[in-house]
Structure 1
Amino acid sequence: MEFVELIKTPKVDGVVLHRPLCPRIEGTLCVTGHHLILSSRQKNAEELWLLHSGVDSIEKKFVGSMGYLTVKCKDFRVIRLDIPGMEECLNIASSIEVLSSLDTITLTYPFFFRPMFDVIEDGWQAFPPETEFGRLFGEDWRISYVNKDYKVRGWIEGCAALNLLLGSGAFRQGGRFPVLSYFHAANDTSILRSSQPLTGPNGRRCKSDEQLLNATLRPGKRGYIIDTRAPNVAANAKARGGGVEPEVHYPQWRRIHKPIERWNALQDSLVRLVEACQDPNSSMDKWLSKLEASNWLTHVKDILTTACLAAQCIDREGASVLVHGSEGIDTTLQVTSLTQIILNPDCRTVRGFEALVEREWLQAGHPFADRCAKSAHSTSKQKFESPVFLLFLDCVFQVYQQFPCSFEFNEQFLVLLFEHSYASQFGTFLCNNECDRKKVKLQTKTVSLWSYVNSPEMLRTYLNPLYEPNNGVVWPSVAPQSLQLWSGLFLRWETNKSAEDAAWQEVIHIRHHNKELKSKVTKLRRQLEELQREARDANLLEE
């Protein structure tokens, strides 16, 4: 298919662009195969480059011969284009709607993008599983290649035999048997993740699964199973073939239910939140009422509470934890990932967080293509759309704002990951799982986001000037008063943050100046110590 066939009107002159907090721009609007571009001859006018894949919905309005397009984007931007000519406006809208929802993934922009920066490190090879798991998990655990055909997979306890893995995989939904997410070396405990057991209404049992789980416990130790479903939801799942681990067959494990919403509930919550944030006429009471009604911060609190519970079991009680919901690819990953942010200082660095996203989200099979197909402005609701990854990033932001010196990356790094998970020129977040990525040869056909972020000139942009390495555990408050709306994401197109940005630039300047002074002081101290040593040596020679 040629893109030219989908572009009925490639260029229109005299188009006016309206954006919040920005002056209007008049120029030429061009529609290419992957971008909507508006360029102007106005002095110092900023060009608009908008990926078609970043468009969530389009609203059309006509007054006389003028057409007005309201373009709502997946990153919550809302822009308006005043286009002279009804036919031209309809053609532009039709082209964008088609080009923003291409069915063939190999026609999307990442397969055509050529980097304008020097690729110093291939992001596709930055976090190989063998190296990462070996670095984090030590000698008692080993990687299994039983999933080479993408049916079952996992990093397993060293003594686990192949028959245990296959048996447990057949007993767990989607073949996702218990695998290691994090090993807490301080007390020899671990976090595991899996999907739900298929006990069914008849209470089916699997001894392989029982043995596999027990093999992860040290002698005399117990473990906790954190089920991210409500008890009634788990009971309904049991009637449909799913279920929970019966305590009679898992006596060394105690089950705890910590309900976390998923799918449609999260999507509806995001829609209500964004609507509230973009309502310019809200009074204070109306705004607070809409914010509460969205339930977004309630979802944030639920995940933070569950992650803190898992971290407490690991760090303070010395008990291993298994986390699962139904499929083990949504709420499960939110909890296991956030627990590692709390426990593991390495995950609070740039590369450590990138590695966390790789192993806990991308390699673990979170279906980004389904979950991030549309955002808050979509008019066509799909069953599997849900801001699961966005909600996790919001939880990380909450910990970040409570411990601003313990993270090597800044808030903009989290915003960047949100943007690229929904629309990107890079291939990192494409497809639903590793199997799909391998089929379309992502690693050879596209550029990794990590190649871009880790390039020296860009990395500086995402570093936190207040960072001081903190090797301890961070315990975030989950009290409602401690949680705040992520204004840097949800309100960034609605509020002027120039003063705040200027303040941060001053902080960076002061921090850099202090580092230079510290370096000079250290150099002078060493020179003084050298002079003192030479003086002592001279005195000894005279004596």
Structure 2
Amino acid sequence: MARNPSISSMIANINTNKKTSFKSYIDLDIKDMNNSEDKECVNTDEMWTTLDENGVTTDLSKIRRNSWLPLDSKDRRVMTRSMSSIGSLMNDTIDGVNYFYSHTRHRTGICGQLTLNTNGLMFLSYTSQEPNDNNSKTSTNSLNNFIPFNNEKNAIFQIDLLAIDDIKDMNDSNFISMTIFCWSLRSIRFQMKNCDQTRRIVDKLRRLTTHSIARKYSKLTKSLRDNYSYILKADWIQLEGHWSECYKLRLTQCNENYQLCDSLSQTFVVPKALTDQMLISLISTQTRGQRVPVVSYIYQKNGNLLLRSSAFDNYEDLNSLLKDMINPLRQMTIDNILPPLVVVEQCYDKLRETCFSSQFGGQSNGSLSKIGKWIYYVCSALKVVQNVVYIIKNESSVGLVEEFDREWNCVISSLVQIMIDPKRRTFAGFESLISKEWLYLPGLAFRKTGAININHILFTLFLDCVSQLIIQNPYAFEFSTFYLIYLFDCQYIQIVTPFLPNARKTSTKIGLEFEPKCGQLREGLSLNELMLIKNPVFRRHKPIDTKSNDLKLNAHISQMHFWSMLYLRWQSTPNLEHLSPFEIILLNELQSRNQL
């Protein structure tokens, strides 16, 4: 074998490759690094290739050991601009990092630079990934390889700290192989040179990701909180104006500035007969978690209410508390109907194991039972919703009672309103609903202690339930199931605000905490992505109560669909089986318009 070429020769080779529309790639047959026999048979030095303009592969094995090179000045300026644009400074950088694509079972990928900053990991490939490449156009436009909101083959992409769940690394004498398991059901693998700097960065990444999901606001939480506020009376009139016409209800501000408790919203709607003195007494001594009965929705056709409340210490049920204020009233104790949160979390963990196993090309034992258990919980939630909707429409008001009114009540109350109110099936109505039911009423909007983000497991189950409703009612929603996938991803992205020294200095002088307002949730999406999340066959109904506004729901387990477009989108072989018939029609239409 010939000697290794000089460093200048390698740089010339890389720069020459950049001028073409083809991209460098890796095609490795990955072996188990724990197996000594595999270590001997795998020779990574002979597997680096590049594709020239004639489609002929050129062996780069001779320059493999000299591939740990810094970026040239142009690429470093691009990296610096990208980092400064998100308000972070480069902290630690590793050159010559091999990044493997998850959808190819971590056998192919590209080489580039990995940077760790306060917001996460940023990867910059040495070779630009041209969107006009004939090869990339084929894979992008093929529905068989469609992955929504996929940044795997971008020249620059970032892994947010909020998205990282676990990190596993395997070491040998030459390389460190690091696999990152994300909350977004994606596994990411890097291979780096084994040196002190690499080990230091891996250790630092572990420390940064510890409890990061509990102490940093996600994009979903902050954007909805800032743009759909439920603090002032004017906010409620603007977003929930239907309650103001009911003489039985009023808006109370007894918890203004969270002076009574931080587990309840500052303002909320209650029965008019409940005075502030009664509410203060309930918050202080009578209810668990300092919660009180709150009105979530009023069905305008007959005036029946949907209430949510925590359990009581000194009252048997809602009827004994409210007496003749709301009559008739049916209480539903959610803790006795649906499984506890810990059981749902265990089921979700098993579902994630199945998703990760599929990305590595393996088969998990009992994968069907793990998936089936999750579908069963989705079906159970929809059955409760179906029952509540029937009672509100035909019999009486319903009070949802839960231990602390922060878990299942958010799911059931949101789904009931989607079933009843057509406004909740639009972009603005759906986002304001999440803000009210998941952030403000549970007291998460401005909480400074404990969890500050939405429970991501229950929220994923809620999104799954909404996807079932969209599949059964494709014309009733303004948004598509791809919009739900986008919301799922927004749980694991943090908002990075620019550095504004004058504003921070002013806020410090007056004793206030400076926090710039976050933009709309859909800001920053490309035109193609905006087309993807919008339902092209949506039929906007007139704002009157007609049977055409009602949703159809068959909550039998046989009618439930496994949402593989979300759970298995990062697996090794994406295909049309992951799409519902309606999604295939939507994508074919966008593809015919050259918008995908």
Instruction: Supply the distance in 1 between the matched residues of 2:177 and 2:353 (Cα, whole angstroms).
Output: 21
Instruction: Supply the distance in 1 between the matched residues of 2:526 and 2:276 (Cα, whole angstroms).
Output: 41
Tell me, yes or no, if the aligned pair for 2:228 and 2:435 is still in contact at 8 Å: no
Aligned match for 1:224, one of 330, 334, 338: 330
Is 1:215 aligned to residue 319 of structure 2?
A: no
Is 1:467 aligned to residue 571 of structure 2?
A: no
Q: Give, in angstroms, the shift of residue 59 of structure 1.
A: 0.2
2:400 aligned residue: 323
Instruction: Supply the distance in 2 between the matched residues of 1:454 and 1:67 (Cα, whole angstroms).
Output: 35
Cα shift readout 1:167-195 (whole Å, capped 9, x = no counterpart):
33332212221111111001111100010
Q: Give, in angstroms, the shift of residue 465 of structure 1.
A: 1.2
Tell me, yes or no, if the aligned pair for 2:291 and 2:310 is still in contact at 8 Å: yes
Q: Give, in angstroms, the shift of residue 278 of structure 1.
A: 2.7
Tell me, yes or no, if the aligned pair for 2:460 and 2:488 is still in contact at 8 Å: yes
Instruction: Supply the distance in 2 between the matched residues of 1:440 and 1:81 (Cα, whole angstroms).
Output: 42
Is 1:289 aligned to residue 369 of structure 2?
A: yes
Tell me, yes or no, if the aligned pair for 2:427 and 2:479 is still in contact at 8 Å: yes
Cα shift readout 1:27-77 (whole Å, capped 9, x = no counterpart):
111112213111122241622311122211100101222000001111111
Q: Give, in angstroms, the shift of residue 496 of structure 1.
A: 4.7
2:99 aligned residue: 17
Tell me, yes or no, if the aligned pair for 2:480 and 2:533 is still in contact at 8 Å: yes
- Higher mean alpha-carbon deviation, 413-422 vs 56-65, is at 413-422
Cα shift readout 1:471-525 (whole Å, capped 9, x = no counterpart):
5221311111111111121111115557668853432477999xxxxxxxxxxxx
1:487 aligned residue: 564
Instruction: Supply the distance in 2 between the matched residues of 1:288 and 1:306 (Cα, whole angstroms).
Output: 24
2:55 aligned residue: none
Instruction: Supply the distance in 1 between the matched residues of 2:118 and 2:570 (Cα, whole angstroms).
Output: 26
Aligned match for 1:507, one of 581, 584, 589: 589
Q: Give, in angstroms, the shift of residue 411 of structure 1.
A: 1.1
2:119 aligned residue: 34
1:97 aligned residue: 206
* Superposition pairs of residues 52-451 of structure 1, within 5 angstroms: 52-101=161-210, 123=227, 128-140=235-247, 141-150=249-258, 151=260, 154-169=268-283, 170-199=285-314, 210=320, 212=322, 214-217=324-327, 222-230=328-336, 259-280=337-358, 286-292=366-372, 295-317=373-395, 319-365=396-442, 387-425=457-495, 444-450=515-521
Instruction: Supply the distance in 1 between the matched residues of 2:468 and 2:213 (Cα, whole angstroms).
Output: 37
* Superposition pairs of residues 513-528 of structure 1, within 5 angstroms: none
For 2:483, give the aligned amino acid: F
Q: 1:198/1:422 Cα in 2 relative to 1: closer, same or farther (>3 Å)?
A: farther
For 1:50, give the aligned amino acid: I
Instruction: Supply the distance in 1 between the matched residues of 2:241 and 2:123 (Cα, whole angstroms).
Output: 49
Instruction: Supply the distance in 2 between the matched residues of 1:395 and 1:492 (Cα, whole angstroms).
Output: 18
- Higher mean alpha-carbon deviation, 101-110 vs 262-271, is at 101-110
The 3-state SS of whatever aligns with 1:229 is helix
Q: TM-score, normalised by structure 1?
A: 0.71
Tell me, yes or no, if the aligned pair for 2:192 and 2:198 is still in contact at 8 Å: yes
For 1:215, give the aligned amino acid: M
Instruction: Supply the distance in 2 between the matched residues of 1:458 and 1:138 (Cα, whole angstroms).
Output: 39
Tell me, yes or no, if the aligned pair for 1:124 and 1:448 is still in contact at 8 Å: no
Q: 1:125/1:455 Cα in 2 relative to 1: closer, same or farther (>3 Å)?
A: farther
Tell me, yes or no, if the aligned pair for 2:90 and 2:117 is still in contact at 8 Å: no
Q: Give, in angstroms, the shift of residue 458 of structure 1.
A: 6.6
Instruction: Supply the distance in 1 between the matched residues of 2:526 and 2:238 (Cα, whole angstroms).
Output: 21
Instruction: Supply the distance in 2 between the matched residues of 1:69 and 1:306 (Cα, whole angstroms).
Output: 43
Q: Give, in angstroms, the shift of residue 412 of structure 1.
A: 1.9
Instruction: Supply the distance in 2 between the matched residues of 1:109 and 1:302 (Cα, whole angstroms).
Output: 28
Instruction: Supply the distance in 2 between the matched residues of 1:105 and 1:270 (Cα, whole angstroms).
Output: 18
Instruction: Supply the distance in 2 between the matched residues of 1:101 and 1:362 (Cα, whole angstroms).
Output: 23
Tell me, yes or no, if the aligned pair for 2:229 and 2:435 is still in contact at 8 Å: no
For 1:181, give the aligned amino acid: S
For 1:132, give the aligned amino acid: L
Q: Give, in angstroms, the shift of residue 330 of structure 1.
A: 0.6
Q: 1:83/1:274 Cα in 2 relative to 1: closer, same or farther (>3 Å)?
A: same
Q: 1:62/1:282 Cα in 2 relative to 1: closer, same or farther (>3 Å)?
A: closer
Tell me, yes or no, if the aligned pair for 2:299 and 2:305 is still in contact at 8 Å: yes
The 3-state SS of whatever aligns with 1:450 is coil
Tell me, yes or no, if the aligned pair for 1:453 and 1:459 is still in contact at 8 Å: no
Structure 2 residue runs of 5 or longer lacking an equivalent are 1-87, 130-152, 498-510, 542-547
Tell me, yes or no, if the aligned pair for 1:371 and 1:387 is still in contact at 8 Å: no
The 3-state SS of whatever aligns with 2:94 is strand
Cα shift readout 1:361-382 (whole Å, capped 9, x = no counterpart):
1101265996698xxxxxxxxx
Q: 1:77/1:366 Cα in 2 relative to 1: closer, same or farther (>3 Å)?
A: farther
For 1:333, give the aligned amino acid: C
Instruction: Supply the distance in 2 between the matched residues of 1:135 and 1:70 (Cα, whole angstroms).
Output: 50
Cα shift readout 1:430-456 (whole Å, capped 9, x = no counterpart):
xxxxxxxxx9958x4351453628999
Q: 1:97/1:468 Cα in 2 relative to 1: closer, same or farther (>3 Å)?
A: same
The 3-state SS of whatever aligns with 2:549 is coil
Instruction: Supply the distance in 2 between the matched residues of 1:211 and 1:155 (Cα, whole angstroms).
Output: 17
Instruction: Supply the distance in 2 between the matched residues of 1:331 and 1:440 (Cα, whole angstroms).
Output: 35
For 2:120, give the aligned amino acid: H
- Higher mean alpha-carbon deviation, 474-483 vs 96-105, is at 96-105
Tell me, yes or no, if the aligned pair for 1:372 and 1:386 is still in contact at 8 Å: no
Q: What is the RMSD computed on CA atoms of the aligned residues?
A: 3.8
Instruction: Supply the distance in 2 between the matched residues of 1:109 and 1:322 (Cα, whole angstroms).
Output: 31
For 2:408, give the aligned amino acid: T
For 1:33, give the aligned amino acid: T
Q: 1:370/1:10 Cα in 2 relative to 1: closer, same or farther (>3 Å)?
A: same
Structure 1 residue runs of 5 or longer lacking an equivalent are 1-5, 116-120, 231-258, 374-383, 428-438, 514-543
- Higher mean alpha-carbon deviation, 364-373 vs 351-360, is at 364-373
Q: 1:148/1:402 Cα in 2 relative to 1: closer, same or farther (>3 Å)?
A: same
Instruction: Supply the distance in 1 between the matched residues of 2:441 and 2:567 (Cα, whole angstroms).
Output: 28
